[in-house]
Amino acid sequence: MPIEVAPLDAALGARITGIDLSRPLSDTEFASVHAAWLDHQVLIFPDQNMDDEDQVRFSQLFGDLPDKAVHSKGTKSGQQLHKSVMLVTNIREDGEVIGSLPDGEMHFHTDGAYERDPYRYTMLYAMEVPREGGDTMFANMYRAYETLPEELKERLDGVEAEQGFYTGVDVSDEMKQALRIDGYDGKAVHPVFIRHEETGRTAIYVNRLLTRRIIGCSDDESRELLSRLFDHSEQSDMVYQHKWRPGDFVAWDNRCTNHARTDFSGGQRRLLRRTTVQGVKPEPALSAVGA
């Protein structure tokens, strides 16, 4: 059966069928998946049956996996195939969560923005999901830039923002404390508008959970500008909301998407396995001012 790429009726995303990710991909399959990823930003592979080795093998097709996970407990007992593999789960054994990022809602963010070289891709494989809630929402940051008011494009052209470890301006102190692990509080400075190194397109690179401030602005001005960017990029016509089913494998491009998690009952189990692909320091977008 040939690979079929079916674009979603949404701001971004495509459903990929006709492929079994539990086996190695052919060169033709890899090329099809890579092209679809660049075109659609988020790929959904339904009805997969993958173990750790399958997921790592697929992930490594697209680059190196990070050799550290300072923000993650990985998987229980350290019995993980690679340091970048982690469980995203609220399941507890003997009172301890067996993975990371366990409960409730999470604001829009892009993975690893607080590092000098953020993650290029993130991939999640669903093993157990709640009956209701725990959905993942994806925002199209290309479209967010393209539809941004011109005065904001001009005001923020060439400007940088500081990204922190779960310390965004709209995040409660309780959430910040709950999400910090082992006192890690990394930070990095990246352009507000970045150039995707493969497509050449411009994307907004700030998010509600991780972005601390805009460099060179007063606190009040920074907060006002960021709030406008957040509100604009999180509008419904920028977002696809994915309701998980067991066996879903969802992969997204962190260079041009933000993602968030909806709330769910703590009494319902949620277990997903995550891998990430290492990226490079984002480059500033080419100036659109005067073009």
Is residue 106 in some structural domain?
A: yes
Q: Are 14 and 6 in contact (CB under 8 A)?
A: yes
Distances 105 to 101, 123, 171, 254 between C-alpha atoms, Å:
10, 19, 11, 19
- Cα–Cα dist 262/132, whole Å: 10
- Cα–Cα dist 255/244, whole Å: 23
Q: Residue 167 sits in which domain range?
A: 4-284
β-bridge partners, 138: 240, 259
pLDDT tens, N- to C-terminus, the chain (291 residues):
689 999 999 999 999 999 999 999 999 999 999 999 999 999 999 999 999 999 999 999 999 998 765 444 545 544 555 677 888 888 888 777 777 777 788 999 999 999 999 999 999 999 999 999 999 999 999 999 999 999 999 999 999 999 997 655 454 555 455 445 444 457 899 999 999 999 999 999 999 999 999 999 999 999 999 999 999 999 999 999 999 999 999 999 999 999 999 999 888 999 999 999 999 999 999 875 544
Is residue 132 in some structural domain?
A: yes
Is residue 291 in some structural domain?
A: no
- Cα–Cα dist 252/91, whole Å: 24
Is residue 289 in some structural domain?
A: no
Is residue 114 in some structural domain?
A: yes
- Give the CATH number for residue 244: 3.60.130.10
